[in-house]
Amino acid sequence: MSELADEEHEHEEHEHEEHDDHDHDTDDHDHDTDDHDHDNDHDEPNEADDAVGAMLEAIRQAKVGQLVVSSISTFASVAYGKLEAEDLPEAKAAIDVIDALLPFLQGEEEPIRRDFEQALTNLKLAYANAVSPAQ
């Protein structure tokens, strides 16, 4: 608290000095602010470390099948979006990724695999229809 009072007192004294001295005082104040920002930077790596740690723990606990399901779902959305945008090379790449990932769905993911196989068939048909007029 006394540092704040000292700083206010110094500010009042500098108001009556030349303009250059006031600019120098402002520069000192900016420097103090920069130092304060650096103090906050020390807290951020801890928060980032905590976030990374939480992410690593989630990865350790994740089941591969769940990640494959999530990935296929994402690529299906991308493929439909790319087909709609008529970005056929990107649509084909997303369809190929789905095709490559489907064999990894086994066991408890088997029911959703059938749904994804149907979606893949629909994507391949939509792609074929999009390519035919283009050729």
Residues 37 and 87 both lie in one domain: no
Single-letter residue type at 76: A
Residues 124 and 74 both lie in one domain: yes
Does the model's pTM come out above 0.75?
Answer: no
Residues 86 and 106 both lie in one domain: yes
Residues 6 and 44 both lie in one domain: yes
Q: In which domain, by residue range, is 92 found?
A: 64-134
Q: Helix 2-15 vs helix 19-61: angle between axes, to the nearest 10 degrees? A: 140
Residues 70 and 119 both lie in one domain: yes
Give the Cα separation of 75 and 90 in Å (integer). 10
Residues 31 and 73 both lie in one domain: no
Per-residue pLDDT of the chain (135 residues; tens, 9 = 90+): 444 444 444 444 444 444 444 444 444 444 444 444 444 455 566 889 999 999 999 889 998 888 999 999 999 999 999 999 999 999 999 999 999 999 999 888 888 999 999 999 999 999 999 999 655
- Residue 43's CB is within 10 A of a number of other CB atoms, namely 9
Give the Cα separation of 24 and 33 in Å (integer). 14
Residues 44 and 73 both lie in one domain: no
Residues 53 and 6 both lie in one domain: yes
- Residue 66's CB is within 10 A of a number of other CB atoms, namely 12
